[in-house]
């Protein structure tokens, strides 16, 4: 791992129908997420933080594009994912749904994007790995400085909603520290992934960080 590219707590969200106003209200309900992903990790940590009895919660796997319509028609009661899907859900359902929570409410949980390379690349061409890190940092700086232009690009190239793209950019730190807090979160995600079968074996996250490129 050579870089943490982005970090956001408010981008991880829990959307619910309007009748659900607290974490405890999720008992007896059906919640969709992407099983085995950061979104499920965030959901499980939210439920534990709020002492929700998970034996009384049904968690199912859905693709992200299925979640807003499923919440609209009542096939699910809530979903845990990331923005801009929450805003898309509100566009579909209006005030029938709301954002119940985001990851700012749970210590030690964040949406982290990291970059990694094969060890042999670092051995054979470490300068290329460093150059990659610098290039992505320059790109991130451009995104932060020109969010409207990025929104227009995503709308043209991918059909994304311009406003949602700009709002999503505002939620992220594009130059996050590769610090002890971030490493601790990544280690927790690794350990959780092993516990829930998303990884077959655990590892020490510090063993896969190339600190020279990470700026340590």
Q: Report the pLDDT value the prediction gives residue 212, as an integer from 0 to 100.
A: 77
Q: Report the pLDDT value the prediction gives residue 198, as an integer from 0 to 100.
A: 87
Q: Report the pLDDT value the prediction gives residue 216, as an integer from 0 to 100.
A: 42
Cβ-based neighbours of 202, under 8 Å, separated by 6 or more = 190, 191, 194
Count of CA atoms in the C-beta half-sphere (13 A) of 172: 23
* CA 96 – CA 90 distance, rounded (Å): 8
> Is residue 165 within 8 Å of residue 84, measured between CB atoms?
yes
Q: Report the pLDDT value the prediction gives residue 187, as an integer from 0 to 100.
A: 96
* CA 102 – CA 172 distance, rounded (Å): 13
Query: Consecutive sets of 10 residues in the chain, 216 residues long: mean pLDDT of each?
Result: 93 98 98 96 97 97 98 98 97 97 97 90 89 92 97 96 96 91 94 92 92 62
* CA 174 – CA 138 distance, rounded (Å): 10
């Amino acid at each position: 791992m050579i870089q943490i590219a982005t970090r956001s707590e408010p981008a991880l969200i829990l959307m619910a129908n309007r009748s659900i106003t607290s974490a405890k209200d999720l008992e007896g309900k059906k919640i969709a997420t992407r099983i085995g992903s950061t979104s499920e990790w965030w959901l499980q940590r939210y439920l534990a933080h709020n002492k929700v009895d998970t034996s009384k919660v049904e968690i199912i796997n859905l693709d992200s594009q299925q979640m807003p319509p499923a919440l609209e028609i009542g096939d699910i009661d809530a979903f845990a994912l990331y923005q801009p899907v929450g805003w898309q859900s509100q566009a579909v359902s209006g005030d029938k749904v709301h954002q119940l929570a985001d990851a700012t409410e749970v210590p030690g949980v964040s949406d982290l994007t990291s970059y990694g390379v094969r060890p042999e690349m670092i051995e054979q061409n470490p300068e290329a790995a460093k150059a990659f890190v610098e290039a992505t940092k320059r790109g991130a700086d451009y995104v932060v400085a020109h969010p409207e232009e990025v929104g227009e690009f995503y709308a043209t190239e991918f059909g994304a909603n311009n406003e949602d793209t700009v709002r999503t950019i505002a939620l992220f730190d594009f130059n996050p520290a590769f610090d002890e807090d971030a490493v601790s979160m990544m280690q927790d995600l690794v350990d959780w992934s092993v516990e829930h079968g998303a990884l077959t074996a655990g590892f020490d996250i510090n063993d896969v960080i190339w600190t020279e490129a990470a700026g340590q």
